[in-house]
């Protein structure tokens, strides 16, 4: 049961991406279902599933995955999920990724500064998701009994052991950073945002 009415533009975006579930390859669906099984097992044991999405800089893909997973959990009324993100190093939440989220229908407020905090809203009634770049073991993230979801191959290879993680799964995405400064920048960021949104919504839909 959903507790919040989402922004109209975001609601429409979600309805469109749900129609794209069939575009997800079978191999990726298998990985996504494994994470869904982990979430379901935590629910069945009366525990909270804590998902920490990890990439190199915690600037693009890991934030997109965290935000879309949290949004999907609220959309489907799944209450036992907490989402986090981090990197092997900290930089800043990239403004191109932020704008892609705004184009999808989120409202984002930026506190300013070198590594600003961002309040990300999917509804006028909801509390914001607080997003800023940080290392995966930052004090705001869980230090035990969580799932480490590796969203880039570099982080997966360079961080073979994530302390405290009881479950680990690589669900990697191509870095939209490669389009920075090109005439395809907007297209690539929107494409990656949509891909991650579609897969995270599919994953959460399989926890019901």
The pLDDT assigned to 98 comes to: 98
Which strand (E) or helix (H) includes residue 166?
Answer: strand 165-170
| pLDDT tens, per residue, the chain with 208 residues | 677 899 999 999 999 999 999 999 999 999 999 999 999 999 999 999 999 999 999 999 999 999 999 999 999 999 999 999 999 999 999 999 999 999 999 999 999 999 999 999 999 999 999 999 999 999 999 999 999 999 999 888 877 789 999 999 999 999 999 999 999 999 999 999 999 999 999 999 999 8
Q: Which residue, among 63, 130, 70, has the nearest Cα to 100 in the 3D structure?
A: 63
The pLDDT assigned to 159 comes to: 79
Q: Which residue has the tokens 């997800």?
A: 24
The pLDDT assigned to 15 comes to: 97
Cα–Cα distance for residue pair 104/11, rounded to 1 Å: 9
Torsion of CA 29, 35, 41, 44, to 10 degrees: -80
The CATH code that applies to domain 48-205 is: 3.40.50.2300
CB atoms within 10 A of CB 1: 5
52 forms beta bridges with: 84, 148
Q: pTM for the full model?
A: 0.96
The pLDDT assigned to 61 comes to: 97
CB atoms within 10 A of CB 2: 10
Q: Which residue, among 64, 57, 196, 189, has the nearest Cα to 133 in the 3D structure?
A: 57
End-to-end CA distance of the chain: 11
């Amino acid at each position: 049961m959903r507790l919040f009415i989402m922004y109209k533009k975001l609601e429409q975006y979600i309805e469109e991406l749900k129609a794209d579930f069939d575009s997800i390859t079978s191999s990726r669906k298998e990985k996504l279902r494994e994470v869904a099984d982990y979430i379901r097992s935590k629910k069945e044991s009366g525990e909270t599933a804590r998902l920490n999405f990890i990439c190199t800089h915690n600037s693009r893909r890991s934030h997109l995955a965290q935000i879309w997973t949290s949004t999907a959990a609220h959309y489907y009324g799944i209450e036992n999920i907490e989402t986090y993100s981090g990197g092997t190093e900290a930089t800043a939440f990239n403004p191109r990724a932020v704008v892609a989220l705004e184009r999808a229908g989120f409202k984002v407020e930026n506190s300013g500064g070198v590594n600003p905090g961002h309040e990300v809203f999917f509804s006028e009634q909801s509390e914001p998701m607080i997003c800023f770049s940080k290392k995966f073991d930052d004090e705001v993230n869980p230090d035990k009994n969580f799932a480490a979801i590796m969203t880039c191959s570099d982080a997966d290879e360079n961080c073979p052991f994530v302390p405290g993680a009881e479950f680990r799964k690589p669900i990697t995405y191509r870095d939209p950073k490669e389009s920075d400064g090109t005439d395809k920048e907007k297209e690539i960021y929107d494409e990656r945002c949509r891909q991650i949104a579609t897969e995270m919504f599919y994953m959460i839909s399989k926890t019901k």
